[in-house]
Amino acid sequence: MKIFLPSSSIRLFLFIQLCCSANMYADDVDGKLFAELKKYAIVHDRYQNTNLPVLTGNAVIGGLTDPLGRGVYNIEVNDFYLNETDRVIGAGMMLQIAQFSGLQPEMYRQEYDLENGILSTHVAYPNGAYDSELFFSQDDKELMVYTFTNLGKNNLVCNIDLGSFDFNVVNHTDKTVYGVSKEPSFTYLHYFLQTNIPFGSFLPVSKKILSKDIFLTVPAGKKLEITVRLKVEQDATPRSLSRSSETGELRKTHIDRWKCNWQSMGFVILPKGDFAKTFYRSLHWLQCTAGVERNLPGEQQFAALTSNIAAAYHYHGNAHPNHNPWAQEPFTYGGAGWATLAYTWLGDKTRAGNMLAGFYRPESLKKNVTKMFPVGNYEFEYGGKKKGHFDYLSPNHADAIAFAHENNYDRTNHQAPPWDKQVHIQGFAPAMYDHYHRFFSEKADTAYAVIKGSAEFWRALLHYDAIQKSYAIAPLLSLTEDLFEADLLDALIAAKWVLTRAAALAEQRKTDSDLRKKWLQIAKNIRIRDRNNVYLEFGSDDGSRAGAGYQGIRGYAYLGFPTLETMKNFSAKKVNQSLNQCWERNKKGEGMITFIANWFALTDAYWGRAEEAYEKACYCLTQTDPSNSAMCEQNGALYYFLTGYASFTMIPVAMVLQSVGNEIKVFPAVPKAFADIEFYNLPATGGIRVSGVMKGGKTRYVRFEKDGKTLLEVKDKEAVSVSLADGRLIQSK
C-alpha cells in the first residue's frame, strides 16, 4: 500500500504544546493513561521510620517530602549555585508539632498521586489528627504550596522549621518571612514564606532565621496555608515574591498544567505488574526533575538524601555524608543527557528542546576541546602506570567542539581526571541533537552545527595507522570507566557515526563539500575490530578482562544505541555473540549501574533481541527501594537516580516502535511478557506519530499520522514496517 503525501506535509507535526491550547487526545486514550497513573500511585497505609521520603518537584524546584506529611526538608533549586560548578541545597519548610512530639500515629495514610504530583497525608494520634497536602506548582515553577488542616478538638502549636540553610532576614510581617542567601555565592537565592495565620512570635531583622523564632497556632478545625517562593536572581522584592492567587486556585492551575504535561508526550500501556509500576513512576519523576531550559538537572536532582536529612527523617537506609552527591553537577551522558533522549523518544518536543538548548553553548564547547584533551604528543599515566607517548589532537582544530563530562554553570567541563577523558561522549551528545532533528524536523541549524563541530573534533583526534591501514585513537577512557586503552570500541563507533552523519547532513544541506569528502574518507577507514566472531572491547583485547561490578564491561552497549545508523555496518552474528558474552562476563548484571543495564536493553531491543532486552531491564526492578518507588544507581545507593529512571522510560518505547533513517518498525522487539501492549502518539522520522495495539502477541492495528491526519492504518499483521521515500509512506512486505 502506498500513501502519497502533499509537499506541504513536510511541515513539523505539532501534537500539543505545554500550554495545552487544544487537546488532540481522544477521551478514551486519555483515560487509559490516567487510569494507569492512578493504579500505581504511591500509597503507604502504615507509618514506618524507614519509609523512603517521596521525591517531588517541578523541574525548577523540588525536594524530599516528610513521611508524616509535615513538609519538605531542604528545597533544592536547579540554578542555585555556590560557585560555577557546585549547586547549593536551599532552605526547607517543615512543621514541628509540639503536641505530637515523640508519638506514634494510631492511623496513617499517605498517597502520592502520579497524575498530578500532589502528596496527601492523613495522620491521627490519641490527642489529635491532621490532613496535609503539598505540591510544587507546575504552573508557577518558583512556588511550593502546603496546607495543613487541624482535624482535632484542640489547638495545635506549630514551629515552622526552615532547616539549616544560612541566609539573612531582609523583611518580615506577621504572616511573611523574606530572606536572601548570604555571600559569597555564585547566584543569589531569595526565600519568601507566606501564611494565612499570623505568627505567634516575630523575627529579628538581619539575623539568621532560627527554628525557634517562628511559631504559630492552628485552631481546631482550621486550615493553615503556606506558600514558599524560591527565586534565583540578583534582586527581588517582597511584592514580586508574594503569591498572586489563593491556594485553591493554585491547586487548580497546578492540576491543569500536569494534565498538559502528560498530553505533551506519547505513552505506552503495559501489562499490570512491577515493570509497569516502575515505568509509570519513572515517567512521573522524569517530569519532576528535568525538562526546563533554565538549567540542566543533576544525577539526583532534588533528591540528595544526606545523612543529616536521613537523621531528621529517622531514616535508617543508605545515605550520603552531609554533602550533595557529585555536588549535583549535570553529566552530559548522565541524568541530563538521558532525560533529553527520554523526552525525545516520548515525543515531547518542547521539553527535549529545552534540554538541548541548555546544553548548547558554542563558545564553551569550543573551549572544552583543549580543556579535556591534550594537543600533540603526550605521555599519559593511568592508575599509577605510564601508558607511553601518543599523538592526540592535531593543532588544526579551530572549529572542533567537545561536550563536558561534568558541566560547569557555563557548560565548560569541570575537570575530573580521568573521567572527563571518556571520549565516547563526543558521539553520545551529538546523537541527542541528530535524533531530535530527525523526529521533529526542528533545530536543523543547531543539529548540523553540533555534528559538524563534533566531526571536526574526531578529525583532529584520529590518526592514520599505516601498519593497520585504518584510523586509530590513542589511549583514552572507555564508557567502561576503569579501562584506559587505545582503539576503544565505543570511541571508534562514536567517531564513525559522527563523521558519517556529518557527511550525510552536509550533502542534504549542499554545503561543506570539501569537509564532507574528508569526513567520509576517515569514516570509511575506521575499522571496528573483531576476533573469533566477537567485536573487541579495545584494540588489544584478548577477552580475559573480568566484568561485573560497578564498572563492569560497558563498551558493547554502543553496538546499537544511540549511534543507530552504524548498526547496518555490523555483523548480526558477531553482535549477538558479543552481547551474549558481555552479559555473561558481567555476571548478568551483578553490581551493575541501572542506566548501563538500560543502555544494553536498548541496544538489544534495536537488534530485535526482545527477551534479552526484557531481562536486562528487569534487573532495574531489583534496584529500587522496598516501596518500588525510587530507582537507585546500584546496590541500594543513590535513590532517585535520574540517569536510571530516565533511561528506563525509553525501553518500552524501543520495544514497540523504532525509527532509524527513513524506516519505521512497529512492535519490533516485544517480549512474551508484553503480549498485550498498546502505545499512542510516539514519534518517528519526519514528524510522523504512530499508535498501535497488540493483543495476544498479534497486531490489532497500527495508525500512522501527521499534522493530525491519518496517513496509513494497518490491521491484523504479525509485524509492521514502513518507509518514507520521495514523500511517500510505503508499507513493506
pLDDT in tens, 376-427: 999 988 878 888 899 999 998 999 999 999 999 999 999 888 899 999 999 9
Nearest to 529 by CA among 476, 574, 585, 481: 574
Which residue would you say has higher pLDDT here, 572 or 18? Answer: 572
* Average model confidence (pLDDT) across the chain: 89
Rounded Cα–Cα distance for residues 227 and 67 (Å):
19
What per-residue confidence (pLDDT) applies to 728? 67
407: amino acid identity, one letter:
N
Q: The whole model's pTM is what?
A: 0.93
**Average pLDDT of the segment spanning 629-638:** 86
Q: What share of the chain is helix, strand, coil (3-state, %, to 5)?
A: 35, 30, 40
What per-residue confidence (pLDDT) applies to 44? 94
Q: Are 171 and 205 in contact (CB under 8 A)?
A: yes
**Average pLDDT of the segment spanning 643-669:** 95
Q: Take residue 590 and report the three cell numbers written for it.
A: 551483578
**Average pLDDT of the segment spanning 148-175:** 88
What per-residue confidence (pLDDT) applies to 442? 86
What per-residue confidence (pLDDT) applies to 91? 85
| 93-97 vs 156-161, strand pairing mode | antiparallel
**Average pLDDT of the segment spanning 127-142:** 96
What per-residue confidence (pLDDT) applies to 77? 92
**Average pLDDT of the segment spanning 537-566:** 95
Q: Are 667 and 656 in contact (CB under 8 A)?
A: yes
What per-residue confidence (pLDDT) applies to 733? 54
Is the per-residue pLDDT at 295 higher than 60?
A: yes
Rounded Cα–Cα distance for residues 607 and 616 (Å):
14
Partnered with residue 418 across adjacent β-strands are none
Instruction: Give percent of the chain with pLDDT exceeding 70.
Output: 92
Kindly indicate the confidence band of residue 218, based on its pLDDT and cuts at 50, 70 and 90: very high
Rounded Cα–Cα distance for residues 705 and 709 (Å):
5
HSE-up of 515 (CA within 13 Å, CB side)?
A: 26
565-584 pLDDT, tens per residue?
999 999 999 999 999 999 99
Q: Are 700 and 681 in contact (CB under 8 A)?
A: no
Kindly indicate the confidence band of residue 600, based on its pLDDT and cuts at 50, 70 and 90: very high
Angle formed at CA 620 by CA 276 and CA 59, multiple of 5 degrees? 75
Residue with cell 576476533: 531
Kindly indicate the confidence band of residue 307, based on its pLDDT and cuts at 50, 70 and 90: confident
Which residue would you say has higher pLDDT here, 731 or 260? Answer: 260
Which residue would you say has higher pLDDT here, 17 or 232? Answer: 232
Q: Take residue 267 and report the three cell numbers written for it.
A: 505513552
Instruction: Give percent of the chain with pLDDT exceeding 90.
Output: 70
Q: Calculate the alpha carbon distances from 371 to 210, 368, 405 in Å.
A: 44, 5, 11
- Choice among 24-28, 428-432, 596-600 with the minimum mean pLDDT: 24-28
Rounded Cα–Cα distance for residues 450 and 360 (Å):
8
Kindly indicate the confidence band of residue 725, based on its pLDDT and cuts at 50, 70 and 90: low
What per-residue confidence (pLDDT) applies to 2? 30
- Choice among 245-259, 260-274, 373-387, 667-681 with the minimum mean pLDDT: 373-387
Kindly indicate the confidence band of residue 328, based on its pLDDT and cuts at 50, 70 and 90: confident
Phi-psi region of 549 (alpha: psi -120 to 50; beta: other; left: phi over 0): left
470: amino acid identity, one letter:
S
Kindly indicate the confidence band of residue 243, based on its pLDDT and cuts at 50, 70 and 90: confident
Angle formed at CA 367 by CA 364 and CA 373, multiple of 5 degrees? 130
Dihedral through CA 570, CA 571, CA 577, CA 583, nearest 10? 20
Residue 607: burial class (beta carbons within 10 Å; 0-12, 13-18, 19+): buried
Is the per-residue pLDDT at 14 higher than 80?
A: no
Q: Which domains does the chain have, with CATH numbers?
A: 48-263 (2.70.98.50)
Question: What one-character-per-residue DSSP string does 211-275 give?
Answer: GGG-EEEE-TT-EEEEEEEEEESS---HHHHS-SS-HHHHHHHHHHHHHHHHHTS-EEEPPSSHH
452-505 pLDDT, tens per residue?
999 999 999 999 999 989 999 999 999 999 999 999 999 999 999 999 999 999
> Each residue of 377-398: b (16+ CB within 10 Å) or e?
eeebebeeeebeebebbeeebe
56-96 pLDDT, tens per residue?
999 999 999 999 999 998 899 998 888 888 888 888 899 99
Rounded Cα–Cα distance for residues 380 and 387 (Å):
5
The separation between the first and the last C-alpha atoms of the chain, rounded to the nearest angstrom, is: 9
